Copies of this chain bind each other. A is one copy, B any other.
Amino acid sequence: MANIREIARLAGVSVSTVSRVLNNHPYVTPDKREAVLKTIRELDYSPNINAVHLSRGKTNMVGVVLPTINHPYFSELLEGIAEEAMKHNIQLVLFQTGYHQEKEFEALEQLRGHLIDGVIFASRAIPFDSILKYKDAGPIVLCEDSDQDEFPAISIKHVAAFNLGLDYLMSKGHERIAICLGRLEGTNSQKRQKAYEEKMKMIGQNVHGDWILGKCLMIQDGKSVVDRFLQMKEKPTAFLVGNDQVAAGIITETIKQGLAVPENVAVLSFDNHPISEIMGITTIDIPTKQLGTYAFHAFIKRSDDSKYAKKVALPFKLIVRNSI
């Protein structure tokens, strides 16, 4: 109800002085500052954020679009973004989409309406062209390996990393390889699946349909992988697994079933999360958190000069442990 003018009047100062106190500006004598703070307390005043945003011309908030935070990859990515955002005093507005397109558009519309200063796409379901229409609305950052030149894009070459994994398994003598992916219908999964099939064809290895396992996201999914493994007539000798969590689940359940890793089945996964170190899982390090850091930096840069558009591909690295 009360506004900055009211405070100024009661404190016997001008609105600018109140504003200065509110924003911790220097050049306010201690007694005036105290007087202002006192009446602010008395009236239980707090600024109208809309007015602040309007006057400042920005909101210091950026939207982050992701399907879910309940997944090790996205939660770590988000952590990277959040850490940087904190340093720059910028609030994050989460758009958990569950891969629903309307939710992604909601973020873009809020950008257009100046409710947020920018949007970082951790992942997306809407086509590139749709995003392109919002190019002038404000900074947009993509976390993907795209070949466009309109938006900054930070990425990890997931498919190349996947191929490295396959190569390493093969170098260790494995030819009967099964793979565990997340959403099979996702673009990334599709590409990996294709890479897998090509590589298997190269070495003349017959690919069994049941060697491509989907819905492998969390640690508990590892159990069902092993269940399915035990049912297979033709058994693979190795698993290439989308993330460490699932690999940990697989290994735990395998051992529970009286089998041994890597003797009965080898496991190679991705991420190099703490759990892989604890369990001695051979993995390919993916700097997911750093991806978030870079994505946020790209937003900051893009906020400054609008011509900025840069593509960054972060490196991955094989970490050899004992699961192969």
Given A1-B136, A44-B136, A136-B1: A115 and B49 interface contact (C-beta under 8 Å): yes
CA A53 – CA B48 in complex, angstroms? 10
Q: Given B46, B49, B114, which contacts A49 in the complex, CB threshold below 8 Å?
A: B114
Residues of B within 8 A of A44 (CB): 133, 136
Nearest residue (CB) in B for A59 is: B50
Contact B49 A113 (CB under 8 A): yes
CA A113 – CA B44 in complex, angstroms? 12
Given A1-B136, A136-B1: A113 and B46 interface contact (C-beta under 8 Å): yes
A54 within 8 Å of B (CB atoms): yes
> In the complex, how many residues of chain A place their beta carbon closer than 8 angstroms to a beta carbon of chain B?
19
Residues of B within 8 A of A110 (CB): 49
Taking the nearest CB of chain B, how far is it from the CB of A22, in angstroms? 12
Given A1-B136, A136-B1: A112 and B54 interface contact (C-beta under 8 Å): no
CA A51 – CA B51 in complex, angstroms? 8
Residues of B within 8 A of A1 (CB): 136
Residues of B within 8 A of A12 (CB): none
CA A112 – CA B46 in complex, angstroms? 7
Residues of B within 8 A of A47 (CB): 113
Residues 133-173 of A at the B interface (beta carbon under 8 Å)? 133, 136
Taking the nearest CB of chain B, how far is it from the CB of A65, in angstroms? 16
CA A1 – CA B57 in complex, angstroms? 11
Nearest residue (CB) in B for A2 is: B136
Q: Given B50, B115, B133, which contacts A54 in the complex, CB threshold below 8 Å?
A: B50
Q: A48-B114, A50-B59 are in contact. List 11 more A-B contacts (CB 8 A).
A: A44-B133, A44-B136, A46-B112, A46-B113, A47-B113, A48-B54, A50-B53, A50-B114, A50-B115, A51-B54, A54-B54
